[in-house]
Copies of this chain bind each other. A is one copy, B any other.
């Protein structure tokens, strides 16, 4: 049995953290780990454990998912989430849903109640309404620090992912042309802000779940990697993976599936496969990280950014929580 979680990767520097804030973040991670672990310890499934852990992270206002979601350009909070059951290769996902307290739970309902994998936008909200998922008022999601982030981003004319403090994004090229409009007037800054969980239960069954509030000041119905099976979220009978970072690169690299592919086709260990997948991201200028678990309960949490909110728990209940790079 094993459980690992993340609360986003990116520019997370000790110099910008206060002891109080760090304690809050660590508390949020610990609460989520304990919630998921309680399910595994009592014999529950990895699917239930990752959903429970991600719900806990969505409810925690400091992470960019659920309650703490950032604001879009239009001042709305649009959320993406996905969940995948590796044992039977089923998955569900939602993209830019609004007023849903726990998008990961709605993703699970897409998996269990529809013949589809991904529902998006108003249609996904209509589905939620029809199956009786209660909508939360805007006030539930409002957090002042996210609102201030939007005002700042609008003032600076940029799209911003959470934990974004580093130099301008260099890949992908939002090239202005003579007749062109670009998505932002200034280059967006680097990532990130996502939560996720992976678990192996007592039967060796694997599951992964990921949830995000997207990018501050985003426009045009952008869908990132979180809701994309194979990119931000993936689980099969080899491994379960949840990613966080600059989503577009994870989409181009199919990073979550890539970890499984390297294990299956190159016979690599979980750790080696995950490290290779992150190294590949680095070669294409993709910033972020991932958490992964295999059927033996091994866990790995590689990233190429300055930090990643992350934690894991192993039999015996030993909890490990880290934020920065470790030597």
Interface residues of A (CB under 8 A from B): 89-91, 95-96, 112-124, 126-127, 130-132, 159, 169, 172-175, 177, 179-184, 188, 219-224, 228-231, 234, 247-248, 251-254, 257-258, 261-262, 265-266, 284
Are A265 and B261 interface neighbours, CB within 8 A?
A: yes
User: How far is A188 from B257 in the complex, measured between Cα atoms in Å?
Assistant: 28
Within the complex, which residue of B169, B220, B248, B266 is in contact with A123, where a contact is CB–CB below 8 Å?
B220
Within the complex, which residue of B117, B183, B184, B247 is in contact with A251, where a contact is CB–CB below 8 Å?
B117
Q: How many copies does the complex hold?
A: 2
A-B contact pairs, 23 of them (CB 8 A): A91-B251, A95-B223, A112-B173, A113-B174, A113-B175, A114-B172, A114-B174, A115-B169, A115-B183, A116-B172, A117-B248, A119-B221, A119-B222, A122-B221, A124-B220, A126-B219, A127-B181, A131-B179, A131-B181, A228-B229, A230-B254, A257-B257, A265-B266
A174 contact set on B, CB distance < 8 A = 113-115
Q: Besides the contacts A121-B121, A258-B261, what 11 more A-B pairs have beta carbons closer than 8 Å? A: A89-B253, A112-B173, A113-B177, A114-B183, A116-B248, A120-B221, A120-B222, A123-B221, A127-B219, A229-B251, A265-B265
Are A117 and B261 interface neighbours, CB within 8 A?
A: no
CB of A86, distance to nearest CB on chain B (Å) = 11
User: How far is A123 from B251 in the complex, measured between Cα atoms in Å?
Assistant: 19
A188 contact set on B, CB distance < 8 A = 115
Are A114 and B182 interface neighbours, CB within 8 A?
A: yes
CB of A289, distance to nearest CB on chain B (Å) = 19
User: How far is A177 from B117 in the complex, measured between Cα atoms in Å?
Assistant: 18
User: How far is A130 from B124 in the complex, measured between Cα atoms in Å?
Assistant: 26
Are B172 and A219 interface neighbours, CB within 8 A?
A: no
A266 contact set on B, CB distance < 8 A = 265-266
Are B95 and A220 interface neighbours, CB within 8 A?
A: no
Task: Identify which of A89, A122, A222, A231 gathers the most chain B CB atoms within 10 Å of its CB.
Answer: A222
Given the interface contacts A131-B179, A228-B228, A231-B230, does A222 sit within 8 Å of B254 by beta carbon? no
Given the interface contacts A172-B90, A257-B254, does A96 sit within 8 Å of B120 by beta carbon? yes
A126 contact set on B, CB distance < 8 A = 219-221
A181 contact set on B, CB distance < 8 A = 113, 127, 130-131
Within the complex, which residue of B118, B119, B121, B220 is in contact with A127, where a contact is CB–CB below 8 Å?
B220
Are A221 and B113 interface neighbours, CB within 8 A?
A: no
CB of A94, distance to nearest CB on chain B (Å) = 9
User: How far is A188 from B229 in the complex, measured between Cα atoms in Å?
Assistant: 22
Cβ-closest chain B residue relative to A159 = B115
A251 contact set on B, CB distance < 8 A = 91, 117-118, 229-230
